[in-house]
Amino acid sequence: MLNGLKRYLYLSHRWLGIVLCLFMAMWFVSGVVMMYVGYPKLTPQEKLSALPGLAAERCRVSLAQALAAGGQVKSPDSIRLTSVAGAPRYVFIYGKTPIAVDAETGNRIDQVTPAQALASADSFLATADGYYLDRIDEDAWTHSKALDEHRPLHRVQMADEQATLLYISNTTGEVVRDANRHERTWNWLGAWIHWLYPFRGGALDRYAADIVIYTALAGSVLSLLGLIVGILRWRFQGLYKHGTKTPYREAWMRWHHLLGLGFGVIAFTWILSGLFSMNPWKIFDSTAAKPKLQAYMGGDISPQYFPLSVAEALARFQNTGFQPREIEWRVLNGQGYYIAFDSQGHSRIQTAQTDSRVFETFDWSALQTAAERLMAPNKIARQSVLNEYDFYYYSRATHTMTGHIDKRLPILRLEFADADSTWLHLDPYTGNFSKLDAGRRVSRWLFAFLHSWDWLHLLNNRPVWDVLLIVFSTGGLLISASGIVIGWRRAKRKLAIHY
């Protein structure tokens, strides 16, 4: 019976390998590319640096007028003032739906024309001319769900040195993605194949997530079976008749066995953690009710909290030497604030009262009061101010998956005694918060740590991180390549016998 079980193990590993080794090899190669070139995206810093300074004299439409022009009865979840084609524009977010209103004329933007899209692109990248390509729902560089509310997207090709491709929202007219030639070229070997994006946008689009999940699951099983088979076939005591501890005399089989023993654990954890990145079957989802933003703010974002007009607020920011490129409306503890961002991503806060003042950060006590209201009736079990990064709050390079998220310091961490052991991270520069419950902390171990090795001691000591990941990726690639050769030979023999 034991011999029969071993045989099934060997056969399962063999035939899974024939099917999956090409995928495995592709993942190891593309993973190395992603270490240095990420999937195209427009980071907040890139966007802010391309926008002109907001001109107070051009902001002629009040918040109340703009909301009325937007045509929605309920209050928006967020309000932002930005620039499109050099002109100020309100952007209201209702759930996931953006609505844009011209801050100069009060006209709602219902649809963006090709001419308007081209004007937006030319203003965004003013150092180069552009020409309009087309309007598309989705292409190789716009698979991100974050772009769904902006579809269809206008594409404008810029004639700059990097041959940048700009994507313009059909809803707001903003540039929402840029993809230069360097990113596009390397991504054919990087994120585009690593995330199996060839299955997106076509007949298999609805099954794309399941294809990734079940391919990664099969790859995890393959790697685990390989480890078990490798250990079973290794002669821990004594030698085989031909004088080695591996039973294989043929070179490819012998190297596959040795490489599997040397790098198999790494290969298994990488494929398994890739599976966890998809949050398969919602295993990391919280069962708690989603926090209500209104509870945190202490009121809706409505004109009553903003007696100081945006034009006056802009002028007062500028009088302090701060030049806003974008402004956000914020309500915290029932009081209105303007949050302004300059071209470098620096921020300032201004109270929205007639006797306004400009300052840099909210008080910790104000943030804590808002957080307690958000999490009521749950109580704070522990609180701390982080002045340096730790395992659960840290920054990554901008090209990585989460690198565009600004992780400033210091921040306030509040740990609550609720059923999900929720942590809140509160940013004093903007009043924003992020939620990290027990499931997400487990996901951080099982995906981010095991998959990206984003351990601070390694990230802060590059190129040690680079060397380790490249060596281990090479080991995984060699396991896969030797498996491809072995599988191809066996498949040819089987086909020859069959025919």
Q: What is the pLDDT of residue 499?
A: 53
Q: Print pLDDT tens along the chain (499 aa).
A: 566 677 888 888 888 888 899 999 999 999 999 999 999 999 999 999 999 999 999 999 999 999 999 999 899 999 999 999 999 999 999 998 999 999 999 999 999 999 999 999 999 999 999 999 999 999 999 999 999 999 999 999 999 999 999 999 999 999 999 999 999 999 999 999 999 999 998 888 899 999 999 999 999 999 999 999 999 999 999 999 888 999 999 999 999 999 999 999 999 999 999 999 999 998 888 777 777 888 999 989 999 999 999 999 999 999 999 999 999 999 999 999 999 999 999 999 999 998 889 999 999 999 999 999 999 999 999 999 999 999 999 999 999 988 888 999 999 999 999 999 999 999 999 999 999 999 999 999 999 999 999 999 999 999 999 999 999 999 999 999 999 999 888 877 776 765 5
Q: What is the pTM (predicted TM-score) of this model?
A: 0.93
* pLDDT reported for residue 19: 85
Q: Check if the beta carbon of residue 201 is closer than 8 Å to that of residue 143.
A: yes
Pairwise CA distance, residues 407 & 413, whole Å: 13
Residue 239 burial (CB count, 10 A): 10
Are 175 and 130 a contacting pair, CB within 8 Å?
no
Q: Could you tell me which residues come within 8 angstroms of residue 335 by beta carbon, excluding any fewer than 6 positions away? A: 298, 305, 351, 352
Tell me if the bond preceding 410 is cis, omega within 30° of 0. Answer: yes
For residue 2, the model assigns a pLDDT of 64
Query: How many other C-beta atoms can be found within 10 angstroms of the C-beta atom of residue 140?
Result: 16
Residue pair 27/271 in contact (Cβ under 8 Å)? The answer is yes
**Six token digits for residue 241:** 């008749």
State residue 336's pLDDT score: 96
Torsion of CA 209, 210, 214, 219, to 10 degrees: -20
User: Which pLDDT score, from 0 to 100, does residue 388 have?
Assistant: 96
